[in-house]
Amino acid sequence: MSSPLLSVRGLKIGATVCPPDAKPHDIKIVHGVDFDVEAGKVLGLIGESGAGKSTIGLATMAYGRGGVKITGGTIFMNGRDVLQSDWRDVRNLRGAEVTYVSQSAAASFNPAKRIMEQVIEAAVSQSKFSKSDAQARAVELFRKLDLPEPETIGDRFPHQVSGGQLQRCMTALALCPEPDLVIFDEPTTALDVTTQIDVLKAIKEAIRDTGVAALYITHDLAVVAQVSDHIMVLRQGEMIEYGTTDQIINAPVDEYTKALVSVRSIDHKEKPPSGEPLLRVQNITARYRGTKFDVLKDINVDLHAGQTLAVVGESGSGKSTLARVITGLLPAREGVVNFNGRELPPELANRSQDDLRELQMIYQMADTAMNPRQTVGTIIGRPLEFYFGLKGAEKQKRIKELLDEIEMGDGFIDRYPAELSGGQKQRVCIARALAAKPKLIICDEVTSALDPLVADGILKLLLDLQKVEDVAYLFITHDIATVRAIADSIAVMYQGEVARYGGKTEVLSPPFDDYTDLLLSSVPEMKLGWLEDVIANRKMQSGGN
């Protein structure tokens, strides 16, 4: 048997971190990892954030972000030790033998240069191809990746194509120099599900047709199951489990892998609506100032006390704009919002303190929603002071109650946001919203930035709190699994309109309208061959029409 294309042994990676209030010190990110990638095969690296996936991927190109350093082990690529190579060899390796596809193509393309120039740059500067050959090859790749107008799309600037298209251009960029290995680092994570499926298909076919090997990094097991031959599960810089894709998905051995496979285990029965709705959104039409385009068109939805309405849709569907209208940040052009039996003034400035108190909001980025210079106690205490005038011991008591409610305990009172994990930060934001004793909390993608297991914990917490506090949630998300876990009723939004609306079971059961069908069928399932099935199904349908 020939030696593998990439062979990593005992890889140790560390970094020097400089926290604001402490001396710089060294931390360990990866503690000795071994793996091989055979020529033409795909290895999936899976794990939560902080598991060291990207760090390992970049290390194979002898690259470390910021203060990241490779502290031990060997990396053999094409039989050559990457870590012992001088800079000239490293430069010949990068962009020629190993290439990289990042999560955000939008950020990874230079905004000042045309796409073609960037796609062929590595191939030309490494003298693998002449300029005209590289261009011909790029056009061929554009065609293979199903990009529109493959002949001329390279003449555009990155901002002139859509996110999904740019992600495919990034794949073309990586494949253009005919590398032996491509590192895909969460290439579809930033995309909508309906876009993700196209990009996934394009990547999979490109890998198959060019015979290139790949390291596919993602946190989404369902996605990696579609493209890889083997999967390695990582946690906190250590390998937890390694096996064929089939084994990892269908017969995981390690407890952690089992948890990853069975994530989103919440079984939530929908509650039937009763009585008058708490929130009535009636005929809302809205547009942003200075534009001539309605972002929301005639929206009608109801939400009952103590229930959850999930507003689901892709980026640009208007779901966050709906939240802005309800909170008064964007006054509607037409229509009214009824809340708790009264009509809410459209403008935030005209709303009473009770209007503000009873309607709270939690955001996607807990990081930026908190003042980094305030302690957890100050953050949660502020609404207590502002709405209820609580002070001193009374306030402290209530803060402790709230911290207990979010399952964190009063040891966190004097901590700063920077000292909390992502999930803990989001919990503090939930406590801050609850402190106002609201009737309705608008949750805008609150679990999207979190790892699946952590997100699962947040959803469970939200459901528990709903039972105790009888609070209603308007839950904005793009993730169907989250919707299944938490919703009582669902509004599917598409291009500023409600495409489908009703109780959870009703909305998620056939017969579907075209858009909901597309949306639901695009959600990756943890099943081998799912991607092929969906694509075959769609071809059949479009052939039948």
Q: Closest separation between CB of residue 111 and another protein, Å?
A: 6
DSSP 504: H
Instruction: Answer yes or no: are the C-beta atoms of 212 and 27 closer than 8 Å.
Output: no
Instruction: Answer yes or no: are the C-beta atoms of 219 and 182 closer than 8 Å.
Output: no
Q: Closest separation between CB of residue 325 and another protein, Å?
A: 26
Nearest-angstrom CA–CA distance, 477 and 447: 8
| Residue 18 in tokens | 């400089």
Q: Which is nearer to another protein, 495 or 537 (CB)?
A: 495
Q: Closest separation between CB of residue 443 and another protein, Å?
A: 29
Q: How many CA atoms lie within 13 A of 513 on its CB side?
A: 12
Q: Which is nearer to another protein, 128 or 319 (CB)?
A: 128
Q: Closest separation between CB of residue 129 and another protein, Å?
A: 13
Q: Closest separation between CB of residue 102 and another protein, Å?
A: 6
Q: Which of 223, 221, 228 is nearest to 245 (CA)?
A: 228
Q: Which is nearer to another protein, 8 or 443 (CB)?
A: 8
Which neighbouring-strand residues pair with 17? Answer: 25
Q: Closest separation between CB of residue 120 and another protein, Å?
A: 10
Q: Which residue has the tokens 């302690």?
A: 375
Determine the angle formed by the axes of helices 131-144 and 193-210, rounding to 10 degrees: 130
Q: Which stretches of 55-146 are assigned E, i.e. beta strand?
A: 68-77, 80-81, 98-101
Nearest-angstrom CA–CA distance, 82 and 91: 11
Q: Which is nearer to another protein, 176 or 443 (CB)?
A: 176
Q: Which is nearer to another protein, 173 or 361 (CB)?
A: 173
Give me the residues that bind another protein (CB under 8 A), please.
58, 61, 63, 65, 90-96, 99-100, 102, 104, 107-113, 118, 121-122, 125-126, 156-157, 159-160, 173
Q: Which is nearer to another protein, 53 or 504 (CB)?
A: 53
Nearest-angstrom CA–CA distance, 187 and 194: 14
Q: Closest separation between CB of residue 177 and another protein, Å?
A: 8
Nearest-angstrom CA–CA distance, 177 and 340: 62
- Residue ranges of the alpha helices (H) in 262-334? 319-327
Determine the angle formed by the axes of helices 131-144 and 115-125, rounding to 10 degrees: 120
Q: Which is nearer to another protein, 65 or 269 (CB)?
A: 65
Q: Which of 439, 444, 495, 471 is nearest to 325 (CA)?
A: 444
Instruction: Answer yes or no: are the C-beta atoms of 463 and 298 closer than 8 Å.
Output: no
Q: Which is nearer to another protein, 47 or 95 (CB)?
A: 95
Q: Closest separation between CB of residue 372 and another protein, Å?
A: 19
